[in-house]
């Protein structure tokens, strides 16, 4: 791949990796495409910046970071392990570098504005769109990738969808300890200002190694890998599943749903042109690529003055950070939710738009199961046999195969009736509402 | 001001200061206003994220940071210096705390989308609007401030416009070493990933002290203050005046100018409703508060497909990061610019939209001059006499009263004629263009 | 205690806490005593700097750090919780501050040179000596403490030995999450350059709170406490129990034992004067206070040229970092050790001085047991009830009450016979030795 | 040099560089020599830890750090610049790597205990001894270096004494911006907890480049180099020349002088055996290598009980941190010193042992002068011409060729007469002493 080498390495400053190093013309051209630059306008963590104000970073910087970690992995492999070009015993073929780098850079290119929420409502699929952006002959990204070879776009896409023949490359980009996860943990920790996500990246990269069928970690680095798993566990508990961010997501969901409803039933005076293909369930790639956080937010700015009371109110709540409150519920307390909803209706709220249930669970580490496309983590012992991570780490074993997360019921803050006096018409109703929350132990440990 | 104390201190996570501590109900309510939440959608450094990708932070987090530094300053003053309430010899009156905190939080609340560029074209003024947001009886911010006292909004505004009687409070918020500058240097360094902006905030806060007529720094902390001045000098040179960010600003300026031109001469099929009051030079505060980076960017997304070739091209260049290139010029080489512009016209570019001149200068440290509203820095010697900083620091003296910065001429990258072959129609023209740049030493040290 | 307040707070720079803040004359005088200054000459981690070269920090800086954390805890308590002076409902009595600060500063003052090794051989006891230094009327420390009150030394000592009536004070200084442990984890991580020991001290101090009978942690900070427990677990596994440091400890143990043997059986040409009271098992506090790492090391420098071959060799090995190698053994492989020892003897080594068994175990977190003097960690729920930490944290539950560590057998590196050729007289013997190690799976995962 | 390659790279943890990477058997063996391990027992900053408690790091870790930076420089050169082996236009010959690495590792190996003080009194010379350790055929270091080639020790020595033919290698190890200075600034900043010494090492290494006759820095990295010079300037002012450390050095000097005097005039009951060769001015390399901080400190521990009052007192002052106080003087106030000394004598102090004059100056950056063995810093412009740093940096120009530092007069703290009452016999005398200090403006800005 030397033909694409730049005359001089270029670097981009990055607060997490210090510098992003680029030696390949193809990478530079991919970064300069409109499809990739668009990621500058999509926040990495969606509504989390409403909880952690510093979390303003985007999928653009994250994608560069995943590229950089992949580059460092390849550098390590080519320096320290025998080349597959030079004999049958080789462990790493550096001709795989370019496909790995491109897949790393582009793995999230199909993400859209507030992806998780948006996909749920409009049935888009960022993974499918990532594939499409890479393989559709009309995109800039496809055009650049085709310079390498006519089947190169397909190769890059196959790494991302796990069908590429070389499992090493797949595992670098997508496994339970891949360049993607390592970058987002470090970057999210850096920008939120929490330190749960910190782990020793240098050490992990040092002990990461290719073997015949994949990637393993030398046993003397087991504890660094263990620490990474714990970090991920803690980031899910402390950051990714934070109830306030989810309370804002609930607002966002209902806001988009209300807009779609109005589009179909009343129309808009000033049409949200770029959203219409999605309201109608009939969108092209070009339509999709026009959406980003900025476009959605600017509609919300306009909708703050919309005549529909619910749309207007939800838009204001989203822009001005007024999350729904929530309580955790369990299988035993789930039966109370209809009662709560009834009270909320009695208080004059439209329960469709002002209540929600959100279930957030993650498996921090998953030993082998046949449906999991993410490879388990293998530790290579000094005799070159492999052991699955949870077999050698008590800490990891303790959290393996256990889902973490919770189910929460979301409702308007006003239902708590704080500051209401007994002569307020809703006083009795909010008292009943609070009694359900407290006496029936719906909540643990508190209302957020 | 104990009546506004929260039952329990609240904290927000912040990557720069670790936590933002809030004890006052008024502060919490100010943060929750739409006027303040809007700062979440305005980047602190405008186009700098095109040069330093990590610079995605907003005026929202910066404003919280200025508040937090001010809070720490007040805590230090009240703990370590005699209170003015308790006698004639007091140095600090903690009744000033709330006005200082509010002014710190709100000092930038009138900033708009891409302020510097926008103001230049549409004759808005973020400082005047900050005053207006605080003092206009119809804003949420004014309403909350009035809870303290009917003249409290005016007091807060007067701190920001330097007319408040207590010079100590003014200097905390606005001087050559104020909470504003200290926060932005640290925050911009953190997010760009450069370390030029780092200095010892803890030490500076420790040696900062009130005296009768203002704020001074104990002599044993002189070097920490010196280090802050050097950091600021280096951030201007390395980050704030970076030619690539200015090349993107040039694009943005011309893009907005073209849109205004089209509005007056051709109209838009889909009207950029929120910009029209500005195109017409007749806007209200309500109009102003609807604008943010997101709104502008979403118009640019739409304009990428506009029939006007120039608007379309500039919108694409801005969204996809294709800055104008530039060269530095001096009083001796300035006369070449018309020749360069002529060549650019010959190559088919509209020079009004594809060339620009940008002059960026800053005074890193200014000893007294009668027009400067920013107080000079005073060092307090052990005998309690004051010395101006540059009198005791050779390093600061070396850069005092010297403007740093440069003047640059901006032009399309294509004018460099890279990759053109001699049979290209523009070949000769680009050769001449390059000859001007190189032979006449217009440039130093290189084209950026 | 205002009578001891310094006219101005003094600060010491510290890389871990940034500054150590001192407002009390008593603290300053305690730091200046010979007994406390002596801690500058005793490394915090003993032989660990042979594994982690940066671990050169001493008990002096650690003791200052424990003081500083305690000071921050008291500041938090007095600011945020009702005072016991002002009514029956008070939670914290700030008159306890001085006793807490003194106990924090002095808790390790009885540590000696290479304490753990030295105590084992010479039957000294650093805890008893800490008590003695504080309560013996002839020490400088006692004289300074007596300025406060005649019974004040006894009070300080009683905090350290857990008999002080106020359990809050004891728990600040000595519990499963005390100022001591928090400082050493952060400081050891900082100096070794590992990041296992990092956790969010600011957050923990924020959620730490007094209650009637002790110290608890607010439930919203549970995860920060959990993270601290995991950090401690990892530091034990990765740093404190590192086999190379233990291989150097084995050398040190045998070196001191040999010196004692020679003293009793042969004498020294140049007497190790300061060690003689310990060789004879009859030492005074004055004798003890003369010993530090420097004194021991300087004897080792002299012993490098001693006529006794074993003493000379062990001194050289210790000074020049030639640890014994080791293998982990289990109850199943323990029976092989006599065979290994026999081979070592056959190869000409004195097994008393060139082999060792070391067992290192720690309980990373201990739910209640009646013999544990270290209080368990209590989480305070929003309704002010308490839950023990492992009841609310799955991660902590996973490692509670489980001892971590291992047993290792130590032997000379030469027994591995690396680089020996078959004609070497020890060749066969070392082959047998290696066979035991490898075939019998004595080792896991490798010889260190 | 591939014959010395280890089968697998070894790493040492280091808090400053994260890891020290070792690929060469020779380097590993050099580290394991007694001569090099001895550096573990010599503090890098001598008495500075009395001012900055964290400064407990040794010449051992610093030497490893200089090695590591040199390794990174060579890696950069071999990756990014044409090899001299491959043609006449090559810029870097990687056969120089091993001599550079060895010189980096060993450049300080001749340093002794409290070098600067010790050398001054006993006329030892650490640079000459470094040469001797490398070239004397009886040292372990020489034996290991000879494995490479019989003239290899001499080559390594010639790099350190600036006579090696390849100026590039000399400049890596010893110039105004060399691996030595870069490591000590970062390491001293890390351990003292100050941040004056921080600069962007990654960036400097990236722009550092070989040219025909030496080392230069690409112009686009000029500001990182500038920042390094400023950092060095600030470390000298704030850390290295701190008056308290110099007050402890004065104690140490007099303590050793007194011991030498006593040796010649009275003898010692218990001889300080290892110091005698130095007292007698007749020492061998073997004698020298037995000294380290530990050995000196352990004599001081013994001397605390010596019958000679001055020796005993100075030993106690040194071990227990009781520095001489000091004032700055100038050419105008120098004439007062005899008066001060007379008063000190009248108060009963032996002025030879209780006063001192210390002059500490450094040139933070030196443009060319014919006597300077340290090369000036060259900036390489895009057209490959060179400019000396101060010609392109106003900040550096401001401090070039200007010595910084001061002259101070040291005296016993008791001379300040604090807490004396008028009826004290020394009251009048101390009043006169203070009057000199204050009225004659001897001091600026304060007595330290």
Q: What token pair was written down for C42?
A: 């005793």
Q: What token pair was written down for B79?
A: 């703990």
Residues B386, B186 contacting (CB under 8 angstroms) = no
* pTM: predicted TM-score of the whole model, two decimal places: 0.92
What are A43-94's pLDDT values in tens digits?
A: 999 999 999 999 999 999 999 999 999 999 999 999 888 888 755 678 999 9
Find the radius of gyration of the CA atoms of chain D: 24
Q: List all chains that touch chain D, counting a touch as 3 or more CB pairs closer than 8 Å.
A: A, B, C
Q: Give the pLDDT band (50/70/90) at residue D51.
A: very high
Cα–Cα distance, C388 to C401 (Å, whole number): 13
pLDDT of residue B375: 79
Closest chain D residue by Cα to residue B239: D223
Give chain A's mean pLDDT: 91
Whether chain B has a CB inside 8 Å of the CB on D7: the answer is no
Whether chain B has a CB inside 8 Å of the CB on C371: the answer is no
Distance (Å) from the C-alpha of residue B43 to the closest C-alpha of chain A? Answer: 10
**Cβ burial D202-227 (10 Å sphere, 16+ → b, else e):** ebbbbbbbbeeebbbbbbbbbbbbbb
Whether chain C has a CB inside 8 Å of the CB on A202: the answer is no
Closest CA to B249 of B344, B110, B119, B418: B119
Residues of D in contact with A19 (CB under 8 A): 202, 206
pLDDT of residue D97: 96
Torsions phi, psi for A238 (to 5 deg): -95, -30
Rounded mean pLDDT of A434-446?
63
**8 Å CB contact of A445 and C234:** no
Runs of H (alpha helix) within C236-376: 243-265, 276-279, 285-290, 293-303, 309-319, 337-346, 351-354
pLDDT of residue B281: 93
pLDDT of residue C82: 87
Whether chain C has a CB inside 8 Å of the CB on A386: the answer is no
Q: What token pair was written down for A28?
A: 């530079």
Cα–Cα distance, B18 to C202 (Å, whole number): 8
Closest CA to D252 of D351, D164, D324, D342: D324
Cα–Cα distance, D128 to D115 (Å, whole number): 13
Give residues 341 to 360 of D whose Cβ lies within 8 Å of B. Answer: none
Q: Give the pLDDT band (50/70/90) at residue C445.
A: very low
Whether chain B has a CB inside 8 Å of the CB on C80: the answer is yes
Rounded mean pLDDT of A193-216?
91
Best probe of the B interface among C206, C207, C380, by most B CBs < 10 A, is C206
Closest CA to B382 of B220, B222, B224: B220
Give residues 29 to 58 of B whose Cβ lies within 8 Å of A. Answer: 32-34, 37-38, 40-41, 49, 52-54, 56-58
Residues with Cβ within 8 Å of B372's Cβ and at least 6 positions away in sequence, in order, are B366
Rounded mean pLDDT of D204-218?
93
**Cβ burial C300-324 (10 Å sphere, 16+ → b, else e):** bbbbbebebebbebbbbbbbbbbbb
Closest chain C residue by Cα to residue B80: C8
pLDDT of residue C439: 63
Q: Give the pLDDT band (50/70/90) at residue D401.
A: confident
What are C88-103's pLDDT values in tens digits?
A: 678 999 999 999 999 9
**8 Å CB contact of B223 and D230:** no
**CA triple A426-A429-A433, angle to 5 deg:** 130
Query: Torsion over CA of C383, C384, C389 and C395, rounded to 10 degrees?
Result: 30
pLDDT of residue A1: 53
How many Cβ atoms from other residues are within 10 Å of residue D55's Cβ?
A: 27
Closest chain A residue by Cα to residue B47: A40
ipTM (interface predicted TM): 0.94
Kindly tell me the burial class for residue B216, based on how many C-beta atoms sit within 10 Å of its own C-beta (0-12, 13-18, 19 or more): buried
Rounded mean pLDDT of D366-388?
80
How many Cβ atoms from other residues are within 10 Å of residue D140's Cβ?
A: 17
Cα–Cα distance, D13 to C48 (Å, whole number): 12
Element of type H or E holding C132: helix C126-135
Distance (Å) from the C-alpha of residue C284 to the closest C-alpha of chain B? Answer: 44
Q: Give the pLDDT band (50/70/90) at residue D108.
A: very high
Residues of C in contact with A227 (CB under 8 A): 196, 234
Q: List all chains that touch chain A, counting a touch as 3 or more CB pairs closer than 8 Å.
A: B, C, D
Closest CA to A24 of A108, A104, A92: A104
Residue D237, pLDDT > 60, answer yes
Closest chain C residue by Cα to residue D47: C40
Closest CA to A81 of A98, A69, A93: A93
**Among partner residues B18, B202, B206, which is closest to C202 by beta-carbon distance?**
B18
Q: List all chains that touch chain B, counting a touch as 3 or more CB pairs closer than 8 Å.
A: A, C, D
Rounded mean pLDDT of D344-349?
95
Cα–Cα distance, C431 to D214 (Å, whole number): 53
Element of type H or E holding C411: strand C404-411
Cα–Cα distance, A18 to D333 (Å, whole number): 51
Distance (Å) from the C-alpha of residue A94 to the closest C-alpha of chain B? Answer: 29
Distance (Å) from the C-alpha of residue B140 to the closest C-alpha of chain A? Answer: 12
Residues with Cβ within 8 Å of A333's Cβ and at least 6 positions away in sequence, in order, are A440, A441, A442
Whether chain C has a CB inside 8 Å of the CB on D261: the answer is no
Query: β-strand D386-388 against D214-218: which pairing, if any?
Result: unpaired
Closest CA to D74 of D33, D27, D138: D27
Check residue A43 and report its DSSP letter. B
Residues C208, C217 contacting (CB under 8 angstroms) = yes
**8 Å CB contact of D402 and B382:** no
Whether chain A has a CB inside 8 Å of the CB on D220: the answer is no
Runs of H (alpha helix) within D136-282: 140-146, 152-160, 167-173, 179-192, 201-207, 222-235, 243-265, 276-279
Residue B445, preceding peptide bond in cis (omega within 30° of 0): yes
Cα–Cα distance, B364 to B400 (Å, whole number): 7
**8 Å CB contact of A394 and C382:** no
Beta strands in B25-138, from DSSP E residues, in sequence order? none
The share of chain A scoring above pLDDT 70, in percent, equals: 95
Beta strands in A83-179, from DSSP E residues, in sequence order? none
Q: Give the pLDDT band (50/70/90) at residue A283.
A: very high
Q: Is the dihedral of CA A188, A191, A192, A197 positive or negative?
A: positive
Whether chain A has a CB inside 8 Å of the CB on B167: the answer is no
Whether chain D has a CB inside 8 Å of the CB on A220: the answer is no
Residues with Cβ within 8 Å of D86's Cβ and at least 6 positions away in sequence, in order, are none
Distance (Å) from the C-alpha of residue D354 to the closest C-alpha of chain C? Answer: 20
**8 Å CB contact of B234 and D227:** yes
Residues D36, D109 contacting (CB under 8 angstroms) = yes
Whether chain B has a CB inside 8 Å of the CB on D406: the answer is no
Cα–Cα distance, C104 to D27 (Å, whole number): 43
Residues C112, C42 contacting (CB under 8 angstroms) = yes
pLDDT of residue B445: 42
Q: What token pair was written down for B20?
A: 């933002």
Beta strands in B262-418, from DSSP E residues, in sequence order? 325-329, 356-362, 378-380, 386-388, 404-411
What are D291-329's pLDDT values in tens digits?
A: 999 999 999 999 999 999 999 999 999 999 999 999 988
Cα–Cα distance, C261 to C251 (Å, whole number): 15
pLDDT of residue D371: 63
pLDDT of residue D60: 98
Beta strands in B3-152, from DSSP E residues, in sequence order? 5-14, 18-24
Residues with Cβ within 8 Å of D279's Cβ and at least 6 positions away in sequence, in order, are D259, D260, D263, D264
Distance (Å) from the C-alpha of residue B427 to the closest C-alpha of chain D? Answer: 24
**Among partner residues A15, A293, A298, which is closest to B193 by beta-carbon distance?**
A15
Whether chain D has a CB inside 8 Å of the CB on C191: the answer is yes
pLDDT of residue D229: 93
Q: What token pair was written down for A64?
A: 């560069």
Query: Torsion over CA of D229, B230, B227 and D66, rounded to 10 degrees?
Result: -20
Per-run averaged pLDDT (10 residues), chain B, 448 residues:
78 94 96 97 96 97 98 92 75 94 98 91 95 98 97 98 95 95 97 89 93 91 91 90 95 97 91 95 95 96 96 97 92 88 95 94 72 81 88 84 85 91 92 81 48
**8 Å CB contact of A198 and C198:** yes
Residues C210, C191 contacting (CB under 8 angstroms) = no
Residues B408, B240 contacting (CB under 8 angstroms) = no
Residues of A in contact with C397 (CB under 8 A): 398
- Whole-angstrom CA distances from A278 to A318, B16, C279, D32 are 20, 39, 87, 69
Give the bridge partners for D361, in sequence order.
Answer: D405
Residue A445, preceding peptide bond in cis (omega within 30° of 0): yes
Residues of C in contact with B8 (CB under 8 A): 80
Q: What token pair was written down for D4?
A: 């010395």
- Whole-angstrom CA distances from D26 to B156, D158, D174 are 69, 18, 22
End-to-end CA distance of chain D: 54
**Among partner residues B223, B402, B445, which is closest to D219 by beta-carbon distance?**
B445
Phi-psi region of D330 (alpha: psi -120 to 50; beta: other; left: phi over 0): beta
pLDDT of residue D298: 96
Distance (Å) from the C-alpha of residue A239 to the closest C-alpha of chain C? Answer: 11
Cα–Cα distance, D241 to D264 (Å, whole number): 33
Closest chain D residue by Cα to residue A8: D80
Residues of C in contact with B206 (CB under 8 A): 11, 19
**8 Å CB contact of B395 and D399:** yes
pLDDT of residue B87: 54
What are C230-257's pLDDT values in tens digits?
A: 999 889 988 999 999 999 999 999 999 9
Count of CB pairs separated by less than 8 Å, A with B: 124
Check residue A381 and report its DSSP letter. P
Closest chain D residue by Cα to residue C298: D295
Distance (Å) from the C-alpha of residue B66 to the closest C-alpha of chain C? Answer: 20
Count of CB pairs separated by less than 8 Å, A with C: 59
**8 Å CB contact of B58 and A56:** yes
What are A319-365's pLDDT values in tens digits?
A: 999 999 999 888 888 888 999 999 999 999 999 999 999 988 887 78
Closest chain B residue by Cα to residue A289: B301
């Amino acid at each position: 791949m030397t033909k694409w080498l730049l005359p001089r390495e270029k670097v981009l400053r990055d607060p997490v990796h210090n510098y992003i190093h680029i030696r390949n013309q193809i990478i530079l051209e991919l970064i300069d495409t409109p499809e990739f630059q668009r990621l500058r306008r999509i926040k990495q963590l969606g509504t989390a910046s409403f909880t952690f104000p510093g979390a303003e970073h985007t999928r653009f910087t994250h994608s560069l970071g995943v590229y950089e970690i992949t580059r460092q992995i390849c550098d390590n492999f080519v320096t320290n392990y025998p080349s597959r070009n030079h004999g049958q015993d080789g462990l790493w073929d550096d001709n795989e570098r370019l496909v790995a780098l491109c897949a790393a850079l582009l793995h999230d290119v199909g993400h859209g504005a507030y992806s998780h929420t948006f996909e749920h409502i409009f049935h888009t699929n960022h993974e499918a769109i990532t594939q499409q952006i890479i393989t559709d002959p009309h995109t800039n990204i496809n055009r650049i990738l085709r310079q390498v070879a006519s089947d190169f776009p397909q190769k890059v896409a196959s790494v991302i969808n796990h069908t590429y023949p070389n499992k090493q490359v797949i595992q670098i980009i997508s496994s339970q300890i891949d360049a993607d996860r390592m970058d987002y943990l470090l970057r999210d920790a850096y920008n939120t200002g929490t330190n749960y996500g910190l782990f020793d990246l240098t050490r992990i990269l040092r002990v990461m190694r290719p073997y015949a069928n994949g990637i393993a970690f030398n046993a003397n680095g087991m504890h660094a890998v263990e620490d990474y798993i714990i970090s991920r566990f803690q980031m899910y508990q402390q950051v990714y599943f934070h109830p306030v961010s989810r309370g804002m997501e609930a607002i966002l969901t209902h806001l988009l749903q209300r807009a779609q409803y109005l589009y179909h039933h009343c129309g808009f005076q000033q049409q949200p042109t770029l959203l219409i293909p999605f309201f109608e369930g009939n969108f092209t790639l070009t339509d999709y690529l026009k959406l980003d956080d900025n476009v959605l937010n600017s509609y919300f700015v306009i909708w703050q003055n919309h005549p529909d009371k619910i749309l207007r109110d939800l838009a204001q709540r989203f822009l001005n950070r007024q999350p729904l409150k929530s309580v955790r519920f369990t299988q035993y307390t789930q039966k109370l939710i209809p009662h709560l909803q009834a009270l909320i209706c009695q208080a004059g709220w439209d329960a469709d738009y002002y209540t929600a249930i959100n279930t957030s669970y993650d498996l921090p580490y998953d030993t082998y199961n046949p449906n999991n496309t993410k490879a388990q983590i293998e530790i290579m012992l000094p005799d070159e046999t492999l052991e699955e991570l949870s077999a050698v780490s008590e800490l990891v074993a303790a959290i393996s195969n256990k889902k973490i997360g919770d189910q929460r019921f979301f409702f308007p803050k006003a239902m708590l009736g704080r500051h209401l006096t007994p002569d307020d018409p809703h006083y009795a109703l909010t008292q009943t509402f609070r009694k359900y929350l407290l006496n029936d132990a719906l909540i643990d440990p508190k209302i957020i």
